[in-house]
Structure 1
Amino acid sequence: MLSIRKATLLPVLALLVGMGCGDRMPDSVGPAQDILVLADLSEWEKYEPVVRDIFEKELRTPQIEKIFSVLHGRVEEIEIHKHLKRKNVLVISPIDSQTPTGDFLRSILSPEVGEAIRSGQSNISWKKNVWAKEQLLFVATGNSVEEVISNIRGESDRLFAAAERARNKRIAKLVYKYGEREDVTRQLADEFGWQVRVPFGYRILDAKPDSGFVALVKEQPSRWCFVYWEDGIPADALTENWVLAKRDEITRRFFDQDRIAPGEVEVFQSDFSGKLAMVLQGLWENEAKWTGGPFKSYAFVDLHLDRFFFIDVGVFSPNKQKEPYLRQLDLMANTFKTAGEPQIN
């Protein structure tokens, strides 16, 4: 990872002096999903398709919503538009480019790092809290525009993952900003043997312990997190077709005949609170009520308890963006743990 110098910024020295140091660093500004790219206008048209392909992944809710939105900015307008206070900043330029962006890039890298880049040892890096709190700065460079593009493509997964982690950390802080329903969390642990960190504003809508079902909800917009559990299901039973049918079975019983919208779901494996889970992500619908929206589910077997869990989050919010709410719910779901387990998230 590159060593980025915070104190030797020749074009923006006045900005750094003005903002102080330590705890006096200003808060970052702008939407958490925006990524501001500082690149010379003459080079941006070559970088743009690659950068958008990496960060502007899409989620159907059922409208198309972008995970991140890429914005182009110019180094010459750093002070006017307060670019260095943005939450996500990506600086792209060849290391020896004779452009304002190239000059800026060299000013924030040590001479040693510059030489490492020229010799091909370093090219992509990121650093937190450089000019503002809760900020993520990316640097993408190389010896030519073509090499920079190749370097960005080669690190595309790691770049997106770093942006995702930073955004999730900010969103998690926002979710619990107004406190937690610790009484509800304790109730879940005491009565059902599992818990999630319940943010303020959520309540238990439905609890059927004999049927292994609890639903937590919050209104405006309507959103939920439900947990279903069942004993005696072997882990090897969790095939793609089985978990899809299981969700429809659960929602048919407890959620007014909701179902997965045909052809509108993706199934894959991922880690969930330290366990391997089948993940379902797609659209739900209720034909009778003419409603629908996005959902995400985790299905796994706790081998210590010999218990199958199905954790599901979803949103109903017509004519509004739903991806941010689904992300908040997903972060809440990922605080799940059974009684006696350490908290992972």
Structure 2
Amino acid sequence: MNRLLRITFVLALVASLASCGGEAKVLVGTSREVLMVYSEDSKFSAGALYKYMTRILYTPQPETLIYLRPIKWDKFPQYENFRNKILFLLPNDSLWSLCKEEEGVLFRKNLFLRGDFTILVCSYDSRAMLRMITDYMPVIWDTILNKAIRELSEVEFLGGKNRKAMEKVKRLFGLEMVIPAGWKEYKEGEGFLSFIKGNPSRFIFIYSEPSERSFTLEDVVNLRDSLTTIYYEGDSVVREYITSMTDNVAGVSILKIYGLWKNDTLVAGGPFVSYAFNKDGRFYLLDAGVFAPESQNKVNLVLRVEGIIRTFR
């Protein structure tokens, strides 16, 4: 009898969905894709943000960190279930009501579909919108990129934590950082500790000095080269392929570097990301990279391991 009731319920549910006309909507687009919707009046604001957010990482082939998909408002109904969206809204746009008479850059979850993320750029005037978007560009960039890092790195933490490794990191460096299960200690030296995992080959290292220091981009790259020469059999940074930016993690200001490493002796190379910062009276350099020559999407991999070093506290 219970089985008959369950079957009846399932059939009723299917019939109900069918009667609603159409299939259930699902999210489309990857964590690194963003739909940008604009009108003729907001095209200059959209263009300015597009230019700001178009950043290339060499892996060694050039890959875009964040893919932007610009469309006009008349096409939006076909794409409203996109995972990430930036909507440029003026009073004459069809969805201006989403702004609720509020001017500014607004961040909304589950606005069109469960799981989606939407940034509303709301302004009564196209010139004011351009000034606004210029001020908010870094915030929008950080929000979109860090969301992608979180989502892509989730797979690294599915197996749990390597608590023994985490305790060692805390003891040696005074740093809280989540080391996922399956990552193995690789090499240790003065102020240095590294971990690796295979399939594909991924690596992270932690380096620290007992006092804070001032540093430039060149200082950090030179320091990385000096460490990888010793511990990674001669790896070095390809200087012409560096992208750097400032960031803030858990209230700590960091210099973030994306780049390409190479090893001429081993005929190897791939993307990496480094975090340099001062914290609690110490200097730190955290680094994550990959070697995956067979992969056609190495940016996903480097953002995935970046999610590990980003757990520092």
- Pick the TM interval, shorter chain: 0.7 to 0.9
Amino acid at match of 1:333: I
Q: Is the 8 A contact 1:197 1:335 kept in 2?
A: yes
Q: Is the 8 A contact 2:89 2:95 kept in 1?
A: no
Worse-superposed segment, 266-275 or 48-57: 266-275
The aligned residue for residue 51 of structure 2 is 53
Map of 1:34 onto structure 2: 33
Amino acid at match of 2:306: D
Residue by residue over 1:234-281, the C-alpha shift from the partner in whole angstroms, topping out at 9 and shown as x without a partner, is 434645544333222211111011112234435666545554555443
For residue 221 of structure 2, the aligned residue among 234, 244, 261 is: 244
Confirm or deny that 1:329 pairs with 2:278.
Answer: no
Cα deviations by residue, 1:59-103 (Å, 9 ceiling, x for unpaired): 232322222212245666666x4x3332212222421x2xxxx22
What's the counterpart of residue 88 of structure 2? 92
1:181: which partner in 2? 162
Check conservation: 1:178, 1:200, Cα contact below 8 A: yes
**Cα distance in 2, alignment partners of residues 269 and 92 from structure 1:** 26
Tell me if the contact between 1:27 and 1:134 (Cα under 8 Å) persists in the aligned partners: no
Cα distance in structure 1, aligned partners of 2:94 and 2:228? 58
Which residue number in structure 1 is paired with residue 285 of structure 2? 310
Amino acid at match of 2:194: A
Q: Is the 8 A contact 1:123 1:140 kept in 2?
A: yes
Q: CA deviation at 1:124?
A: 3.0
Q: Structure 1 residue aligned with 2:296, among 300, 320, 328?
A: 320
Give the conservation status (yes or no) of the 8 Å contact 1:94–1:141.
Answer: yes
Is the contact made by 1:259 and 1:284 (CA closer than 8 Å) also made in structure 2? Answer: yes
Amino acid of the structure 2 residue aligned with 1:223: R
Q: Distance in 2 between matches of 1:153 and 1:192?
A: 39
Unpaired runs of 5+ in structure 2? 1-19
TM-score, normalised to structure 1, is 0.69
Q: 1:217 to 1:261 in 2, by over 3 A?
A: same
Tell whether the 8 Å contact from 1:272 to 1:298 is kept in structure 2 after alignment: no
Q: Distance in 2 between the 1:279 and 1:68 partners?
A: 16
The answer for unaligned runs of 5 or more in structure 1 is: 1-17, 19-24, 117-121, 337-343
One of 188, 202, 218 as aligned partner of 1:223: 202
Q: Which amino acid aligns with 2:136?
A: E
One-letter amino acid of the counterpart of residue 221, structure 1: P
Alignment of 1:202-221 (within 5 A): 202-204=183-185, 206-208=186-188, 211-221=190-200
Q: Which moved more, 1:143-152 or 1:279-288?
A: 143-152
Deviation at 1:290, TM superposition (A): 2.2
Distance 2:120 2:304 in 1: 28
Q: Which residue of 2 aligns with 1:161?
A: 142
Matched residue, 1:262: 239
Q: Distance in 2 between matches of 1:65 and 1:142?
A: 33
Distance 1:28 1:144 in 2: 32
TM value normalised by structure 2:
0.75
Query: Percent same amino acid at aligned positions?
Result: 19
- Give the 5 Å matches for 1:112-191: 113=101, 122-189=103-170
Q: CA separation in 2, counterparts of 1:68 and 1:259?
A: 26
Q: Which letter maps to 1:222?
A: S
CA contact (8 A) 1:251 1:257 kept: yes
